[in-house]
Amino acid sequence: MRRAQRRPRLTTPLIRRGDEFVPASWDEALQTAAQGLSEVRDRHGSTALGLFSCSKATNETNYLAQKFARVVLGTNNIDSCNRT
């Protein structure tokens, strides 16, 4: 059996500018993501947003995820793979 060839990993965040992705600082990437989430919430309401968490994460991580969804995003749309 042949080993799959590994692709190089990203070492810096990428953001979309026009039709291409360009390297960005972490601050710029996080600001871009926050702006996009805010625009969706402002345009369509907080129910347009949702969050999916993982059952393999720690309880603390899942707690923070649901807290972020409810307090920051303003949505109760939270799900996880715990049911599978």
pLDDT tens string, the chain, 84 residues long: the values are 567 778 888 899 999 999 999 999 999 999 999 999 999 999 999 999 999 988 888 989 999 999 999 999 999 999 887 665
- Please tell me the predicted confidence (pLDDT) of residue 2: 66
- Please tell me the predicted confidence (pLDDT) of residue 84: 58
| Whole-number Å distance between alpha carbons of 60 and 66 | 10
Q: What share of the chain is helix, strand, coil (3-state, %, to 5)?
A: 50, 15, 35
Q: Which domain holds residue 69?
A: 46-84
- Please tell me the predicted confidence (pLDDT) of residue 7: 81
33 and 50 inside one domain: no
Number of compact structural domains in the chain:
2
| Residue that the structure tokens 């603390």 belong to | 60
Q: Is residue 73 situated within a structural domain?
A: yes
CA-based nearest residue to 13, from 32, 26, 31:
26
Q: Is residue 72 situated within a structural domain?
A: yes
55 and 26 inside one domain: no
